[in-house]
Each structure stands twice: as structure tokens, then as C-alpha cells.
Amino acid sequence: MERLVCLAAAAARNAWAPYSGFAVGAALRAGGEEFLGCNVENASYGLTVCAERVAAWRAVAAGQRDFQALAVYTPGEEPGMPCGACLQVLAEFAPDSLPIRAACAGGKVVDTTLGALLTAPFRLRQGGESNGS
């Protein structure tokens, strides 16, 4: 996980965050490979994309759908957790046991899992049934 944190910190340097000033980096291990993402803000705020989703989409675009671990790096003194939208995207390709490490510039680290952060993900079940509406 420490390697993923270092990669996430490096990815944060590429963030486009002129509006929030909050540069986030993510590093996702999927299928034994590492995929980086950074947040990309837009003047039309609704078009902003989080670092975690950028990393996830890069993995999927490369043909990887077996998400194994995620690290997120944020500025400041407290680690930032993935938002609900990012957690739902991760749940599409990862089990509840997916390890997530959130680290910050201040040096604090929080280790958790996807299931601890997203307790009731929407997932399609076999036969078209779903657990959500």
C-alpha cells in the first residue's frame, strides 16, 4: 500500500484544481497493474471528475476489472475519503473487502475498506434483480 500512496501523491501533482485548490491523487491496483488518477475540475462544476474515478476508468479502459487496492492522497492535515460517487464506481469492480488507504500531506493515514465506507452499494444481481431502486 505504501507504493500506492507514493504513486497517488505523485498523481496529485498533475491535478487540475484551479477552483478548489484541492489537488487529489489516486492509485489503483487492478489485475496486478497500477493506474493513476487525479482530479480534473471544470468551470462547469458538475463536469469535475474525482481522482478515484479517473483511476478506475483508466483501469477499465486498459481491460482490467479486478480491483485489488486503492490509495488516495489529499492535501491538508486530515486524509480525505472517496466520495459516494467514487465508492459506487469502485463497487462495480471490487468486493466490499477492497482495501483503501487514505493519506494526506500532513502525514496521517487511514486504512479502511470499500464495504466500511459504502455499506449498501447498488449492485445488479444474477437474473437482473438488484438490491437498490
Catalytically annotated residues: 52
Judged by phi (left if over 0) then psi (alpha if -120 to 50, else beta), residue 127 lies in left
In a 3-state reduction of DSSP, which class is residue 33? strand
Q: What Rg, from alpha-carbon coordinates, does the chain have?
A: 14
- Which residue, 82, 103, 79, 106, is CA-closest to 94? 82
Asked if 64 and 30 touch (Cβ cutoff 8 Å), the reply is yes
